[in-house]
């Protein structure tokens, strides 16, 4: 790949990426979330999203020839296979059927001569042989006749790999965090099979957050950060510490701009205590989390994507199935019922602002005032002893204008529809909505996702101000460590669905980096 560049609507996410990969080489690719790993792989694999957002710059050369894939199918035909993080398997089919999905060997018959190829019957013997061959190539034993839904997670992952290996033209295999769901032993088997593949001349790009795996299997390591390749070294000449530092370490000038850390009273009382929480949120599973949050602090929850940091607020607020105990101001809060949480003066700004956060087709006034009306019965005029309740339009207008000014929401008027605003301004409306509730406790999930730098600073300042002036406890979840370090008092790092550790924000970023990639047993 040469000089790969990509921007999403003017937002540069990849700059000047160069690397080469020989047949049978194993390349380890690592970097924090948002470093551009996935985007890079999407370009290589010809995913639709790249073309829809305006293509990319630079060249991809395969065997010395310039290639540009319009669809993943072209990439497959050229010999590039990809195993995604999410499984793409048919649950009710056996491993064999999944391995050969839509590439089943067929037998001709009379009816298919008349009605076309799709009425050819499947050749089950040939299917057996070919799936067995693919499984053997992989070098890990799985049962070809087992139904996917009965399989342990690891075997599902192996089925996917076998599917790619069953393609004869395969030259390059991309594995996107294949070991994230595997047990230690399975991961070892996978690494073994990667070595086997490379011995057969198949090149592998291996994306993982478990750094020791990279060192043990790869011939070359590329570390990415903020859309650039920061290091490209042979695996033999580096160590886990080095890679961590390259991954997390900002360039010196931004790293130094550290926010003042408020002096935390050591004996502040605990306002929310979470015990043995589990949350069944797809892709963000939380296991056995216990966490105490002190009154008046800003606690950050960080960690890599898919490790469960989003699961914590969603579970506590009752949006996903959860269990365990949560106590707020000494009283237990029932899980799985959002209303009870809201009644207890907790509020939540969701990461899914278009889906959960906003009423897109309604005006800003409505968006800001709606939850407050619903939960706290604010902005209502009561008649006939409370039987008839009318909206207090004036009060709603006043409070909306106040927040529009305070948060500098760019809009034509407070009656504008929420969907007409830009992402950053929508996020501010979400915050205004939560502020209008006047909660005692606020969860803010990914408040800066997808918004520009200016808006980011404003949102963070608003949160900090809200915390310091109104004494509201804030828990902020973000994938951007630097942002957490600027805003929060303490930061908890989540890894593998569990809390890996809690550190004060002044700790060095290497410390946080180590926690992020550590495996909690």
The string of DSSP codes covering 211-248 is HHHHHHH-SEEEEEETTEEEEEEEGGG--HHHHHHHHH
Nearer to another protein by C-beta: 287 or 378? 287
Rg for the chain, CA atoms, rounded: 26
The least distance separating another protein from the CB of residue 473, rounded to whole angstroms, comes to 26
Strand partners, 66: 61
Alpha-carbon distance of 383 to 391, in angstroms, equals 11
Nearer to another protein by C-beta: 112 or 345? 112
Cα separations (Å) of 239 from 212, 214, 243, 497?
8, 10, 6, 26
Two tokens, residue 487? 């805003």
Q: With both helix axes pointing from N to C terminus, report the angle between 393-407 and 453-470 in degrees, rounded to the nearest 10.
A: 120
The least distance separating another protein from the CB of residue 310, rounded to whole angstroms, comes to 16
Angle of CA points 332, 338, 340, to nearest 5°: 40
The 116-155 contact track toward another protein, x by CB under 8 A, reads -xxxxxx-x-------------------------------
The least distance separating another protein from the CB of residue 417, rounded to whole angstroms, comes to 26
Stretch that binds another protein, among 83-91, 237-245, 355-363, 368-376 (CB under 8 A): 83-91
Q: Contact between 90 and another protein (CB under 8 A)? A: yes
Member of 43, 50, 89, 165 binding another protein (CB under 8 A): 89
Positions in 272-301 near another protein (CB under 8 A):
276, 278, 280, 285, 287-288
The least distance separating another protein from the CB of residue 60, rounded to whole angstroms, comes to 21
Nearer to another protein by C-beta: 324 or 371? 324
Stretch that binds another protein, among 11-19, 90-98, 259-267, 300-308 (CB under 8 A): 90-98
DSSP 169: T
Alpha-carbon distance of 409 to 455, in angstroms, equals 9
Of the candidates 263, 431, 243, the residue with the CA atom closest to the CA atom of residue 351: 431
The 311-350 contact track toward another protein, x by CB under 8 A, reads ----------xxx---------------------------
Nearer to another protein by C-beta: 15 or 336? 336
- Residue 519 CB neighbour total at 10 angstroms: 12
Nearer to another protein by C-beta: 273 or 285? 285
The least distance separating another protein from the CB of residue 112, rounded to whole angstroms, comes to 8
The least distance separating another protein from the CB of residue 203, rounded to whole angstroms, comes to 22
The least distance separating another protein from the CB of residue 282, rounded to whole angstroms, comes to 9
Member of 22, 54, 55, 91 binding another protein (CB under 8 A): 91
Stretch that binds another protein, among 6-14, 104-112, 150-158, 507-515 (CB under 8 A): 104-112
Alpha-carbon distance of 312 to 276, in angstroms, equals 11
Cα separations (Å) of 392 from 29, 218, 399, 414, 498?
56, 65, 11, 15, 45
Two tokens, residue 100? 């050969």
Angle of CA points 236, 242, 245, to nearest 5°: 155
The least distance separating another protein from the CB of residue 87, rounded to whole angstroms, comes to 8
The least distance separating another protein from the CB of residue 109, rounded to whole angstroms, comes to 9
Cα separations (Å) of 460 from 49, 260, 426?
30, 14, 15
Of the candidates 450, 456, 471, 455, the residue with the CA atom closest to the CA atom of residue 298: 471
Angle of CA points 51, 57, 59, to nearest 5°: 105
Nearer to another protein by C-beta: 85 or 416? 85
Member of 102, 110, 253, 405 binding another protein (CB under 8 A): 102
Q: How many residues bind another protein (CB under 8 A)?
A: 30
The least distance separating another protein from the CB of residue 336, rounded to whole angstroms, comes to 9
Range 504-508, long-range pairs (CB < 8 A, 24+ positions): 504/261, 504/264, 505/259, 505/261, 505/300, 506/258, 506/261
Alpha-carbon distance of 437 to 431, in angstroms, equals 10
Nearer to another protein by C-beta: 104 or 295? 104
Q: What is the contact surface with another protein in residues (CB under 8 A)?
A: 72-73, 88-93, 97, 101-102, 104, 106, 112, 117-122, 124, 276, 278, 280, 285, 287-288, 321-323
């Amino acid at each position: 790949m040469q000089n790969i560049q990509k921007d999403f609507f003017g937002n540069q996410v990849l700059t000047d990426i160069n690397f080469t990969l020989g047949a049978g080489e194993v390349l380890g690719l690592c970097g924090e979330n948002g470093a551009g790993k996935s985007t890079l792989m999407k370009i290589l694999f010809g995913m639709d999203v790249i073309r829809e957002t305006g293509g990319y710059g630079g060249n991809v050369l395969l065997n010395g020839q310039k290639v540009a894939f319009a669809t993943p199918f072209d990439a497959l035909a050229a010999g590039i296979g990809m195993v995604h993080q999410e499984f793409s398997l048919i649950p009710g089919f056996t491993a064999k059927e999944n391995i050969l999905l839509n590439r089943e060997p067929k037998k001709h018959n009379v009816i298919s001569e008349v009605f076309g190829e799709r009425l050819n019957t499947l050749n089950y013997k040939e299917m057996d042989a070919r799936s067995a061959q693919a499984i053997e190539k992989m070098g890990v034993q799985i049962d070809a006749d087992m139904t996917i839904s009965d399989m342990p997670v690891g075997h599902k992952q192996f089925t996917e790999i076998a599917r790619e290996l069953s393609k004869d033209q395969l030259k390059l295999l991309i594995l996107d965090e294949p070991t994230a769901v595997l047990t230690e032993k399975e991961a070892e088997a996978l690494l073994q099979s990667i070595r086997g593949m490379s011995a057969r001349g198949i090149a592998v790009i291996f994306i993982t957050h478990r750094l020791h795996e990279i060192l043990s299997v790869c011939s070359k390591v590329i570390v990415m950060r903020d859309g650039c390749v920061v290091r490209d070294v042979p695996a033999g000449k580096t160590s886990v510490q080095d890679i961590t530092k390259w991954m997390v370490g900002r360039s010196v000038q931004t790293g130094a701009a550290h926010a003042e850390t408020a002096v935390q009273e050591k004996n502040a009382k605990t306002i929310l205590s979470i015990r043995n929480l589990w949350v069944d949120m797809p892709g963000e599973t939380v296991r056995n989390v216990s966490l105490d949050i002190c009154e008046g602090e800003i606690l950050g929850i960080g960690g890599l994507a898919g490790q469960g940091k989003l699961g914590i607020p969603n579970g506590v607020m009752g949006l996903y199935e959860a269990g365990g105990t949560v106590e707020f101001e000494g009283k237990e809060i029932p899980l799985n019922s959002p209303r009870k949480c809201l009644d207890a003066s907790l509020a939540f700004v969701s990461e899914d602002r278009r889906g959960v956060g906003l009423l897109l087709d309604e005006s800003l006034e409505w968006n800001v005032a709606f939850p407050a009306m619903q939960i706290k019965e604010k902005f209502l005029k009561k008649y006939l002893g409370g039987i008839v309740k009318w909206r207090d339009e004036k009060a709603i207008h006043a409070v909306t204008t106040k927040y529009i000014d305070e948060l500098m929401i760019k809009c034509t008027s407070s009656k504008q529809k929420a969907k007409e605003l830009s992402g950053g301004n929508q996020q501010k409306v979400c915050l205004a909505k939560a502020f209008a509730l006047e909660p005692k406790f606020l969860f803010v999930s990914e408040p800066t996702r997808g918004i520009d730098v200016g808006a980011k600073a404003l949102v963070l300042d608003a949160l900090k101000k809200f915390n310091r002036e109104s004494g509201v406890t804030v828990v902020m979840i973000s994938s951007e460590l630097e942002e957490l370090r600027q805003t929060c008092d303490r930061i908890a790092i989540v890894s593998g669905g569990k809390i890996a550790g809690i550190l004060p924000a002044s700790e060095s970023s290497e410390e946080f980096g180590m926690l992020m990639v550590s495996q909690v047993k």
